[in-house]
């Protein structure tokens, strides 16, 4: 599982939750690094089951651009968008932007599990 988030505190919290759900987690806070991380994991034979990306990531590519770059490499990437901006067009038309699931902030552990089960099944 890969997490691309701008807020390191939220990143740590979600990482702990995902680990309790038995996911191995890699975290990244920059869009360029996210693409590199995805490519490296795939080339090492350990591709990510899914990617959870914040819409906004500082220092470079935003979440949408990051997922689009990854989709160029792997059109089957399982990407989940996360945002507190429920009125953002990405949140209502996620497939258009390359996402398979959505997590509106704030979300519960149960919501996280439900979305992961949905996109990974």
Contact 63, 4 (CB under 8 A): yes
- Does the structure show a pLDDT above 80 at 101? yes
Grade residue 36 by pLDDT with cuts at 50, 70 and 90. very high
Q: What's the CATH superfamily of 2-116?
A: Response regulator (3.40.50.2300)
CA distance 89 to 65: 14
Grade residue 75 by pLDDT with cuts at 50, 70 and 90. very high
**CB-CB neighbours of 116 under 10 Å:** 21
- Does the structure show a pLDDT above 80 at 102? yes
């Amino acid at each position: 599982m890969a997490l691309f988030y701008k807020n390191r505190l939220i990143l740590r919290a979600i990482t702990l939750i995902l680990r309790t759900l038995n996911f191995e987690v890699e975290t990244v806070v920059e869009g360029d690094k996210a693409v590199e991380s995805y490519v490296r994991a795939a080339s090492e034979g350990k591709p990510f089951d899914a990617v959870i990306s914040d819409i906004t990531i500082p220092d470079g590519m935003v979440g949408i651009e990051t997922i689009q770059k990854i989709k160029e490499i792997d059109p089957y990437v399982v990407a989940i968008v996360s945002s507190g901006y429920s009125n953002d067009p990405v949140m209502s038309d996620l497939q258009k932007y390359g996402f398979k699931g959505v997590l509106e902030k704030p979300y519960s552990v149960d919501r996280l599990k439900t979305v992961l089960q949905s996109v990974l099944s």
